[in-house]
Amino acid sequence: MRKLSFSMLVLAMFFSSTALADGEIMRSEYQAIMVEKVADGLEHPWSIAFLPDGAMLVTERPGYLNRIDAEGNKTRISGTPDVHVRNQGGLLEVVLHPDFADNRFVYLTYSKPNGSDTATALARGRLDGDELVDLEDLFVQDRFSSPGRHYGSKLAWMPDGTLLMSIGDRGTEPERAQDLGDHAGKLLRLTEDGGVPDDNPFVDHEGALPEIYTYGNRNIQGLIVHPVTGQIWATEHGPRGGDELNLLEPGNNYGWPVVSRGLDYRTQERYGSEAIYSHEDMVEPVIDWTPSLAASGLAVVPEDSDFQMWRGDLLAGGLRSEQIRRVHFVDGIPWHQEELVRGEIGRIRDVRIGPDGNIYVVTDHSDGALYRISPVNR
């Protein structure tokens, strides 16, 4: 796919000088929307999964899993794994098995402790009433390291029933992302039981870990498999700038830390041994977000959505930028961007499309909340 330079993108920004009132109708370029708070009092909520009965499972980073119904009533689910809570670490992603209605399997990612170090881990349990039972680790990354940064931890199901899982570079040694003998800085592809699919790209590659699907990924925190095209889209944190939207394909190298448009936090110098912006053996981002979006959470608006003018668009959450970035495509190329709810509800951690067709987000604060965004077609 041809990369679109930032200068070619038309960016529409909508600001408000006052706090957003619950249930307030807002105008965007093409679509009036209503933003409603569904539940509050959530401590750094991280991820949303939708249950068949219309309720949601929502993780909180300190280690809590909640069932929240449409009216905002919260029930704590017991039986979650023991997590190491520090900075970005804790209880992170939650997704349901595609056959959840039959097997009741819930998948969680978390920062697993081992002494003073941690690793990104994948656990699975069966939801029985208000409890997770038969909880087990399905996968733990190969190396434990200092806690607190770049766990990645997004999950997405492939059409063939395999599971994608991101792991960040863990912060202190960025070059791990280029090492095929290390899970850090990678997108993995696993079986539903945490095993290795036999058609993964590095299964027969000497010295490579067979779970690896892509590499050179600094810290993927938005991940979807497009329901129509089957393409894998990911949003990835850069350092100071250099956030990316990437189209991920098996076996590809996405450059970190050899190639980046961001700056080193400590030195404020360019990353890369020669401050390069591209490399013939590495895939360039579809979009480079500099200055940073602080991307987290990613969703695609369905083709039959009541958000009529947004159909097929990507919605990327932003943490520090406190927004949802709508990315519109023309002939498969991102052509236009719009900032939604910027500065209105806080740091956007996760973005999901609910079974009712509405957009759901959680905000990453010590007193975070779950919001519903619905179209107002008038």
* Angle at the Cα of 179 from the Cα atoms of 173 and 185, rounded to 5 degrees: 60
Helix (H) or strand (E) holding 306: none
Tell me how far apart the alpha carbons of residues 17 and 344 are, in angstroms, rounded to a whole number.
9
Query: Count of alpha carbons within 13 Å of 78, Cβ hemisphere only?
Result: 3
Q: Is 336 a catalytic residue?
A: no
Question: Residue 104: is it exposed, middle or buried by C-beta count within 10 angstroms (0-12/13-18/19+)?
Answer: middle
Cis peptide before 291 (omega within 30 of 0): yes
Tell me how far apart the alpha carbons of residues 120 and 167 are, in angstroms, rounded to a whole number.
7
Which strands sit side by side in the sheet containing 348-353, from one edge to the other?
Answer: 24-27, 32-42, 368-376, 359-363, 348-353
8-state DSSP, 291: S
Q: Which of 44, 84, 97, 150 is catalytic?
A: 150
Tell me how far apart the alpha carbons of residues 158 and 144 are, in angstroms, rounded to a whole number.
27
User: What pairs with residue 244 in β-bridges?
Assistant: 236, 288
User: Please, where are the H alpha helices in 185-338?
Assistant: none
Q: Which residues are catalytic?
A: 150
